[in-house]
Structure formats: C-alpha cells, structure tokens
Chains A and B, each alone.
Chain A
Amino acid sequence: MPDLLLELLSEEIPARMQADAAAHLKKAVTDALVARGCLYEGARAVVTPRRIALSVHGLPVASPDVKEERKGPRVGAPEAAIQGFLKAAGLTSIDQATIQSDPKKGDSYIAVIEKPGRPVPEVIAEIVPEIIRAFPWPKSMRWGAASVSSSSLRWVRPLQSILCTFGPETEDPEVIRFAIDGITAGDVTRGHRFMAPGDIRVRRMDDYLTSLEKAFVVADPEERKRRILADARNLCFAQGLELVEDEGLLNEVAGLVEWPVVLMGTFEESFLAIPDEVIRATIRANQKCFVVRDPKTGRLANRFVLTANLEASDGGRAIVAGNERVIRARLSDALYFWQTDQKPLPDFEDKGKPLDQRMAKLRALNVVFHEKLGTQGQRVDRIKALARHIAPLVGADPDLAKRAAELAKADLMTEVVGEFPEVQGLMGRKYALLQGEHESVAAAIEDHYKPQGPSDRVPTDKVAVAVALADKLDTLVGFWAIDEKPTGSKDPFALRRAALGVIRLIIENQINIVLSSAFVFSMKELIDSLLNWQKPAKIEAAFIEQGNPTEEQAIHEDRAFLVRHDKVLENDGTTLTFHPVVGPYQTGPQTRVSLLSFFHDRLKVLLRDQGQRHDLVDAVLASGEGNDDLLLVVRRVEALAALLGTEDGRNLLAGTKRAINILRIEEKKDGRAYDGAPDSALVHDKGEPEERALFALLQSASAHARDHVAREDYAGAMKALAELRPAVDAFFDKVTVNAEDAALRENRLKILAELRAATATVADFSKIEG
C-alpha cells in the first residue's frame, strides 16, 4: 500500500513552536484523509529547525466510492419544491429519483447520489494546500515579492520548498504536483545549511531519513535529544564530572540544531564564587548551554557544554573559544550583580541591612502589584499582618513570620533577580543568611512561593508555612475582591494554583485553620490598605488603546519596556511614582462563600487525583458542618471511605439512603418535615420491637457520633454509626413505615429523620453513590 511523504522546508522555525507544528501537521493531514474516506495504517511526523516532515503509510490508491441518499419532498408536492430538490441533488428529471414508501408519512422522493472515489494523490493535492494556508502558527508572517498582496501565503518564517511524494514501497513514487504562492511541490529537499547545502532527491520516509543523515541532518527531534544527551554525558564523564541535566534546555537546544555537535568549554575558576544557581541561570538563559557538576564536591565545575550545529574544520576550537568569550562576559556581569546585591544600596544606606534597603526601595518606587490591589509595598504589609495572624495556628513564632514576610519580596529589587527572575526567592534566602537572619526566616523567603503546582515541594518549616499561606490567601482574597476569578481555561493570575497551594500546605502539614475567618481578616487588611492608597489617576488611556492586534502587541511591548525602564532609572537614583487605578471591590459575605466554594472545587480535584471518590467529598461537603476547615473535610472523607469499605458501612449506607428516600417522598407528599423528636411513649406503647430497638440505639449512637465529631475523631464517629446497621436492617425488614395509624406513621418517619440527622453529622449520605 502506498505512502505519503510531505516535507515543508523553511527558514529557521523557533524552537518552542516545532513540536506543536509537527503534531498539528500530522493531525490535520490524517484527519482530512480520514474525512475523505482514506484510512491509513500509521503516520509519523518529525521536525528540525528548518523542516517539518510527515509520512502517512498504508494509504489506499483511491478513496472509496460513496453513496449518499438525499431525502426529497413527498410525491405530489408543489412544483417549486420538486424543482428545488432536483437542483440540490443535481438531478435533471424527477424520474431519476426513487420513491420511498412509508406507511405513516406516505410516499416521498429519494435521490441516490453516487460519488465515485478519487485517486488519493488528487485528494492530497487538494487538502495539503488548504492545511498549509490555514496552519495555526502562534505568529506568522508574509515575505518576498508575493507580499505585495495581503492575501499572500503566511508561514512562521519564509517557506522555501515543499516535497510531496506518494507511492508504494516497490516503485518510484509519484510527485504530487500542487503549487502555493509560486512554490511547486517536488521530490527534492536540501541537507545541512553549511555542510550539505545541495539538492537531495527523496522517495519516501525511510530513504528521506537516511539521505538526510548523510547530509548532516538528524530529522527526528528525539534522536537529536538522545545524541546530545549521550555525547554531553560522555564528555563530562571523561573529565570525571557529571552533566547537570535539564529537560527544558535539552528540548530547546535540540530545536536549534539539525546536526548536533556537543563540545565542552571552560571558564575561570574565580567565577565559582557566584552561587551555582546563578551560574546555571546565566549560562542557560543567555547561552543555552548546560552546566557541569563535580561529583566530589556536589558543586558546579568551571565547565559548560555547548551544542553546535556544525562539524567545524578545526574540530570546534574556534566555536569553543567564541562561546567561552561570551560566557566569560556574562559571568563577569553575574559576579558583579551578586557582589553589588550584598553592598549598601545608594540612597537607601540608612534603611537597615542590605535586603531591608532593597525592600525600602521597593516601597519607595511604588511598584504596582496590580492596578486595583495596590503596590508591592502594600501587599507586603498585608502579608505581614496575615502571616503574624496565622503563625499561632500553624505553630510558628509570630515575630519570625512577620520578619520573613517583610523580607520575602525584597530580592525583587536585587540585580541578580532583575536579570534572572527564575532565582527569585532563592536569592532572597542566600542574601538573608548572609545578613544574619534566622534560618527559618531565610527558609521562608525562599519557600513562601511554594508549592507552585501539584508536584512541587510543600514547605514544612512552620514560619515558611505561615508566610506561604499568607501570601496565597492575600492573592486569592484580593482577586476575589476585584472580581477577577478564573473562568474556563483562563486563569491569568494562577489562582487555581494558589488555592491548591493553600490546600496542600494545610493538609500535608495537618493544620486546622478556619478559612472563612482567615478571609475576614485578610479582607479587612485589604480594605485598610486600599483606603490608605493615594488617589487614582488614569493610566488606562496610556495602556488600553483599542485597536488592531498589532497595536496591542505594541502596547504589550510598552509595558515590558516600562519595567526595564524603571530599573535603569533607579540606577540613576531617581524615584518614580506610579498612580494606580482603583475600582469597585467586593468584600461581602457572598465573596467569602464564593471563595470557599472555589477551595472546595480545588479540594475535590486534588482528592479525585489522589483516587478518592468524588461523591464522598460531595457528601461530606454537603453535610455543611466544618466545611471551612479543609483538614477536617479530608479526615471525614477518609473516615467515610473507611466506613464504606466495611460490610456494616455499606449496609448502613443502603438503609440510610432508603430512609432518606422515603422521607423525601413523604415529606414532599405531606408538605412538611419530620424533624421533631419521636414520641417515645408511643414507640413503647404501640411500636414494633424492631422500632423500639432502633429508637433506643439512635439516641445513644447519635450522641456517641456527635461526641466523636466534636473531638475530630471521625473514625470513632463512623464506628458509632456503623453500630446502627443491624437495627436499621431489622427495622426495614419488619416495620411498615406508612402505617394505617397516622400517629404511628408520623412517629416512624421521625425515627427515620433521626437516622438521617445522625449520619448527617459526618456526611450527607444521599450524595453517596451505590
């Protein structure tokens, strides 16, 4: 069966876009083929900085014939309807239609349209140009003489050639001829830009890959990654060193070369005075090189690993020397930043230790956190107050928590973090230790951003926990107050992550904290800090100019520019003021309810991911008690799951659900609730033995359960409830709830209501499935 080979050769595709582009090409082409009835056996896409290639194998020679039926009007319909049908179905006379009989609707016309199959090359020549024209690049461009027309082809960078062949393994394939904007598809590609720039004729994927390999192109990105990693490890091993592996960097580097040549360079040992993380950030971000560790010390070695795209005629000496030169200059800058950050800050020398001086500058600059939520300085003040408030709840020293919160954001003003935002927090910790802060304070500065996601480390130091909670709660409360909640896939302020962070901090550190009262405290801080804020001025006019996308891009650049600009101005010792915009704030009880339910949703997601049944979480949350203490919620869910793991538990559930069902029906019928206490005299005088037994047991079991709940002993509460099981079973076995005697019926319903109430102390059993 024939294969399709398609290659789109262009100027250099940005590394970050390559994988998505290959995946899209594969999906778009195979989907379009299948939509036209052309099934295939397999497909494979590869990508390099200069080409995306796709092979679809096991295709038919032609698409299948298709028979379509089109329903027409009934026999005897008005002429206009008949004519319309003929036109739509492509018939010339109604005689060409068949008549379908239906006993109910009568006879009607049916047109059978036969579409003969088409040769697959024809199908490909039709779909590929469409796919190329509609290709969803994150950013695309026009180029060359054709760009006189605004409808000229758009691609990520100029598209240079298209290769498209189709044929079975045993024969020379056919070149599928189509043209887009003057580029005609052929069977020719080119090799490495410098080492094999000539034309290469290709037949199908297997000889495509081998021909390219000979022409110094490794088309498969996974293979490039594999070679880079293996060569880099070997180079390090030969020196008694080890590579610091970095998946993100490896992906990027593999997207910058067609023929990876891995080389090792050296820098002066004196640069090892810079913290490892900063060396790594410098070398990684600016030069896209790997760093190397010395296994004897666990620290970085004065080496780096670069990936060139060339087997140079001098064995790479010039390439290594050039890269060393650039890295030397970069590390000189980094060393300068690291040393500067430890020195007094001009104009702020009298504001305490180095980090305190930086914090003073952050306040003085009025750097805005969010235009409606005030400055970074105001935010730090709120976090301080909240961290101090939370500290006793998590067992942290309130003064240390306050100190850590004061310094938590100070490193944003350091030179190193200005250059490498990814080391924020970490640098704060290092500078804090250098200026003699308590270890917990230093740890909290680094860890208060954590956890950043479901797999990130959760801080355990109590001071860090207090500050981490305060930081996230202030964020969540603030954005809820200005009604910037996540919607659908949009969560620009990463609020889901913040809420998940709070939940993990609470659960993994086993902290009892009543969220709604923390919200109240945090809201109050927010309002106070906003009331003290300077009067707003209009900056919207400058930022928000409605216009075309390019205008927006330019404005976006202005913003980025603005941040860079502030830094330079600061260096010149000038203080800036920034006037924020204030808007309506929502700080009432509904906002707290909405935020709590957001936490509940995140908790459900987390517990579900941990394998907990979502209906159990719903049942516990629906019971309505203690819902704003998430640790209690989790414990109740766990206890409930344990209960339902037992025979007694499952039967109790069945009995309780039956009781709840009966109650629902009867309460609806009677238009009243049966919540009052049953008449015990009536139970004793007229009740069945099973009824008396359940009644008696309910009194003690629900008292026990409540007692256990009060002590947060949910396993105990469940056990107390489970003891009800035989009595519940016996009751339903022998007792008729809807008795003839109205008083007896009411009393029995009230007994069931007591069962409902007793189980509701831990969960709403009606929400539990099964």
Chain B
Amino acid sequence: MSSSHLPPHMRPERSFQGLILALQTFWAEQGCVILQPYDMEVGAGTSHPGTMLRSLGPRPWNAAYVQPSRRPKDGRYGENPNRLQHYYQFQVILKPNPPNLQELYLGSLEAIGLDPKLHDIRFVEDDWENPTLGAWGLGWECWCDGMEVSQFTYFQQVAGIECAPVSGELTYGLERLACYLQNVESIMELNFNGREGAEKVTYREVFLQAEQEYSRYNFEHADTAALFRRFAEAETECRALLGKGESGERHLMVQPAYDQCLKAGHAFNLLDARGVISVTERQSYILRVRELAKACGAAWLKTEAGGAVA
C-alpha cells in the first residue's frame, strides 16, 4: 500500500498531519482501537494508560494513538533543530504481539512512503528500560538509511510485573520521521498541513512560541515550592485512592490513582528541569514514582480489564 492515492496535501511525505493520519489509517486497518492522546502531561507514549495499564493482564488489546510527550529538560527555547520539550510520538500496542509484527511494522513504513525495496531498513539491537515505570523489554531501534525512525519493543515487564502475554510496542518519533520524509533539516521547517503558498502552515507557526514559553517556564519560572507540594500531594492521593479502591479481591479505582502517579511523575520532571533535585534525591524520587506505578499495576490486575475473574 502506498500513499499515491491520496491528494497531495494529505501525503505523509508532504504533510505532518498527513503522516499521522496515514499511520492511524494503517493501524486502524490492522484492527487497532484508535485512541486519542491522554489528557495529562506524560513523558512518553508508554505512560498512557492505554499502554502502561493495558499491557498488564491476560486480555488481548490492540491500540494506536498519538501522544504528546513532555520532556521539560529537553527544551531549548526552540533554537535546537532537533530538540523540543514537547513533541509527538505515535504509539502502537498489540497484546499479545502477533507473530508477524515485524511485517506489519514494515507495512506501516510502506504506508508512509518508505519503500523497503528502495530504503535500507534495519533492526539494530536496543533494549528498552523505563526505571520510573518499572518496565523493560527487548527489541530494536529501527533504522531507515542509517536513521533511527522507531523503537520496537517486546515488553517483558511492566510496573515490575511479568507480562503474560507479552505485548509488542512500536513508537514512531513523528517529528524526526517527518523531517526525513519531507527532507528538511529542522523540525520547525516541517510543513504541518501539506498545503503550499499562502495556505501552508509550518511546525514553527504552530509550536515555536510554545517551545519558547515552556522553556522559560520549565527552566526559569516553574514554582518549585508548589511543585514539591504537588509531588507530595499526588503521591499521597495516589496511595489513598489505591487504599480506598480495595474491595476484596477486586480494585475499583485504579485509573484515578494512576493519574496521580502521572502527576507526581510530571512534577518530578519539572523539578528536575529546574535543577533543584540533587543527584541523591533524584534516585529516591524516581523510586517513589516507580513504587506508585508498581502499586497501580498490581491493582490493575484486580480489575476486569486487568483480567480479574469475577
């Protein structure tokens, strides 16, 4: 399947939104639920409950979605061509991973205009770990002509819990991929809507101001006292909700608790960007968030979607 049937402004090699739509269409055709971005600040698509919680337990789950990723420390006031504090990941999660996941992935590259007969696609060892989520897996960086275009992981453990069955996770770094497809050197130069002339909207027009504003906030002005407070409050509330949700063999309030875990994680990321957490403390903060994630994961297994038997 290629993109030649699309009108020019919708083609993934000309349009950032066209790229997103092409990936959504492709994975929808594979039977995925197309979710929308989670409405909270997260550092990566993996943190979306659609991956983090749904990858636990025995129930099959196939989903795809775009997730804005907030990495406060990666902000460069919009001046670095490749670094942003807010960027998009396209995330696919298939549980259990189908036996032909590699072929499906290659099919998705074709769908966005990367012909594997023309481009050198490679699977290069890269084992993935996320200490704050207590998660790890084995897989690859997927290279296209020497450039990393995706991360491909078979989850082995999430929230400190063995995955049974294992999910396959694909993460496409959309901006980088789009730069390659559109042949531009800087993310800000990306054509966002695929139009030309007066109708053309660039990534710069959409996001440059936001990058500048958030970089000021992240590095200079975020209220650290409030953030420390928010971290502690979120941690407390997460634990409280996990306690209150206990109902015999079942759990009734995992997702609200998990939201608090995400809030604590984001507060930590901001504090980290402000440089107010020492190295020693840093470890203990990561461990605290991980403990919340683990507790949420354990509680998830006691819910219906987590596979608990009535």
- Give A566 to B282 CA distance when docked, in angstroms: 11
Closest chain A residue to B284, Cβ basis: A542
Instruction: Contact check, A542 vs B283: say whether CB atoms are below 8 A apart.
Output: yes
Query: Which chain A residues border B117 with CB–CB below 8 Å?
Result: 194, 310, 312-313
B280-299: which have CB < 8 Å to A?
A: 280, 282-284, 286-287, 290
Residue B79 is within 8 A (CB to CB) of chain A in the complex: no
Instruction: Contact check, A319 vs B286: say whether CB atoms are below 8 A apart.
Output: no
With contacts A312-B118, A319-B119 taken as known, whether A557 is within 8 angstroms of B131 at the C-beta atoms is: yes
Instruction: Contact check, B146 vs A326: say whether CB atoms are below 8 A apart.
Output: yes
In the complex, which of the residues A148, A323, A539 contacts B280, with contact meaning CB atoms closer than 8 Å? Answer: A539
Fill in one digit per residue for A552-575: 1 if any B CB lies within 8 Å of its CB, else 0.
Answer: 011101100110011011001010
Fill in one digit per residue for A297-312: 1 if any B CB lies within 8 Å of its CB, else 0.
Answer: 0000000001011101
Instruction: Contact check, A323 vs B99: say whether CB atoms are below 8 A apart.
Output: no
Residue A325 is within 8 A (CB to CB) of chain B in the complex: yes
With contacts A147-B165, A149-B164, A554-B134 taken as known, whether A565 is within 8 angstroms of B282 at the C-beta atoms is: yes
With contacts A312-B119, A326-B146, A569-B275 taken as known, whether A143 is within 8 angstroms of B97 at the C-beta atoms is: yes
Query: Which chain B residues border A16 with CB–CB below 8 Å?
Result: 125
Instruction: Contact check, A558 vs B102: say whether CB atoms are below 8 A apart.
Output: no
Binding-face segment, B2-10, B136-144, B223-231, B250-258:
B136-144
Give A588 Cβ to nearest chain B Cβ, in Å: 32
Query: Which chain B residues border A545 with CB–CB below 8 Å?
Result: 287
In the complex, which of the residues A309, A537, A562 contacts B283, with contact meaning CB atoms closer than 8 Å? Answer: A562
A525-548: which have CB < 8 Å to B?
A: 537, 539, 541-543, 545
Instruction: Contact check, B120 vs A312: say whether CB atoms are below 8 A apart.
Output: yes
Instruction: Contact check, B166 vs A144: say whether CB atoms are below 8 A apart.
Output: yes
Q: Which of B116, B125, B129, B278 has the most CB of A within 10 A?
A: B125
Instruction: Contact check, B145 vs A148: say whether CB atoms are below 8 A apart.
Output: no
Query: Which chain B residues border A574 with CB–CB below 8 Å?
Result: 275
Instruction: Contact check, B166 vs A323: say whether CB atoms are below 8 A apart.
Output: no
- Give A160 to B73 CA distance when docked, in angstroms: 41
Closest chain B residue to A12, Cβ basis: B123
Binding-face segment, B18-26, B40-48, B62-70, B152-160:
B152-160
Instruction: Contact check, B278 vs A577: say whether CB atoms are below 8 A apart.
Output: yes
Query: Which chain A residues border B38 with CB–CB below 8 Å?
Result: none
A123-173: which have CB < 8 Å to B?
A: 139-150, 156-158, 160
In the complex, which of the residues A157, A256, A312, A565 contacts B138, with contact meaning CB atoms closer than 8 Å? Answer: A157
Query: Which chain B residues border A539 with CB–CB below 8 Å?
Result: 280, 283
Instruction: Contact check, A568 vs B73: say whether CB atoms are below 8 A apart.
Output: yes
Instruction: Contact check, A572 vs B131: say whether CB atoms are below 8 A apart.
Output: no
With contacts A141-B137, A313-B117 taken as known, whether A327 is within 8 angstroms of B163 at the C-beta atoms is: no
Query: Which chain B residues border A561 with CB–CB below 8 Å?
Result: 131
Instruction: Contact check, B125 vs A14: say whether CB atoms are below 8 A apart.
Output: yes
Closest chain A residue to B166, Cβ basis: A147
- Give A309 to B124 CA distance when docked, in angstroms: 12
Query: Which chain B residues border A321 with CB–CB below 8 Å?
Result: 145
In the complex, which of the residues B136, B140, B219 contacts A554, with contact meaning CB atoms closer than 8 Å? Answer: B136
Query: Which chain B residues border A143 with CB–CB below 8 Å?
Result: 96-97, 154, 166, 168
Query: Which chain A residues border B121 with CB–CB below 8 Å?
Result: 194, 310
- Give A14 to B139 CA distance when docked, in angstroms: 9
Closest chain A residue to B147, Cβ basis: A326
Query: Which chain B residues border A308 with CB–CB below 8 Å?
Result: 120
Give B279 Cβ to nearest chain A Cβ, in Å: 5
Closest chain A residue to B290, Cβ basis: A554
Residue B127 is within 8 A (CB to CB) of chain A in the complex: yes
Residue B217 is within 8 A (CB to CB) of chain A in the complex: no
Query: Which chain A residues border B119 with CB–CB below 8 Å?
Result: 310, 312, 318-319, 322
Residue B58 is within 8 A (CB to CB) of chain A in the complex: yes
- Give A160 to B156 CA distance when docked, in angstroms: 18
- Give A11 to B168 CA distance when docked, in angstroms: 13
Instruction: Contact check, A542 vs B287: say whether CB atoms are below 8 A apart.
Output: yes
B228-284: which have CB < 8 Å to A?
A: 272-273, 275, 278-280, 282-284
Residue A314 is within 8 A (CB to CB) of chain B in the complex: yes
- Give A295 to B120 CA distance when docked, in angstroms: 31
Residue A493 is within 8 A (CB to CB) of chain B in the complex: no
Residue B195 is within 8 A (CB to CB) of chain A in the complex: no
With contacts A11-B102, A550-B157, A550-B160 taken as known, whether A310 is within 8 angstroms of B120 at the C-beta atoms is: yes
Q: Which of A14, A194, A554 has the most CB of B within 10 A?
A: A554
- Give A322 to B116 CA distance when docked, in angstroms: 13
Query: Which chain B residues border A661 with CB–CB below 8 Å?
Result: none
- Give A194 to B122 CA distance when docked, in angstroms: 11
Query: Which chain A residues border B127 with CB–CB below 8 Å?
Result: 139
Instruction: Contact check, B280 vs A542: say whether CB atoms are below 8 A apart.
Output: yes
Give A240 Cβ to nearest chain B Cβ, in Å: 25
Residue A34 is within 8 A (CB to CB) of chain B in the complex: no
Residue A66 is within 8 A (CB to CB) of chain B in the complex: no
In the complex, which of the residues A146, A149, A314, A562 contacts B279, with contact meaning CB atoms closer than 8 Å? Answer: A562
Instruction: Contact check, B146 vs A551: say whether CB atoms are below 8 A apart.
Output: no
In the complex, which of the residues A15, A158, A309 contacts B120, with contact meaning CB atoms closer than 8 Å? Answer: A309
In the complex, which of the residues A14, A142, A256, A558 contacts B131, with contact meaning CB atoms closer than 8 Å? Answer: A558
Q: Which of A140, A327, A576, A579 has the most CB of B within 10 A?
A: A576
In the complex, which of the residues A141, A149, A256 contacts B124, with contact meaning CB atoms closer than 8 Å? Answer: A256
Residue B162 is within 8 A (CB to CB) of chain A in the complex: yes
Closest chain B residue to A365, Cβ basis: B279
Residue B207 is within 8 A (CB to CB) of chain A in the complex: no
Closest chain B residue to A542, Cβ basis: B283
Closest chain A residue to B74, Cβ basis: A568
Give B178 Cβ to nearest chain A Cβ, in Å: 14
Fill in one digit per residue for B91-132: 1 if any A CB lies within 8 Å of its CB, else 0.
Answer: 000001111001000000000000011111111110101010
Which 6 pairs between the two chains have the least Cβ-Cβ distance? Answer: A322-B145, A542-B283, A14-B125, A574-B275, A12-B123, A323-B146
Q: List 26 A-B contacts (CB under 8 A).
A: A12-B122, A14-B125, A16-B125, A141-B138, A144-B97, A147-B164, A147-B165, A148-B165, A158-B99, A194-B116, A309-B122, A310-B121, A313-B118, A318-B119, A322-B120, A322-B144, A323-B145, A329-B185, A542-B284, A551-B160, A553-B136, A554-B290, A558-B131, A568-B73, A572-B275, A577-B279
Residues of chain B touching chain A, judged by Cβ–Cβ distance below 8 Å, are 58, 73, 82, 96-99, 102, 116-125, 127, 129, 131, 134, 136-140, 144-147, 154, 156-157, 160, 162-166, 168, 180, 183, 185, 219, 272-273, 275, 278-280, 282-284, 286-287, 290
Q: A310-B119, A325-B180 are in contact. List 18 more A-B contacts (CB 8 A).
A: A12-B124, A12-B125, A146-B165, A147-B166, A156-B138, A158-B154, A318-B145, A319-B119, A322-B120, A322-B146, A326-B145, A554-B134, A554-B290, A555-B131, A557-B129, A562-B282, A565-B279, A578-B279
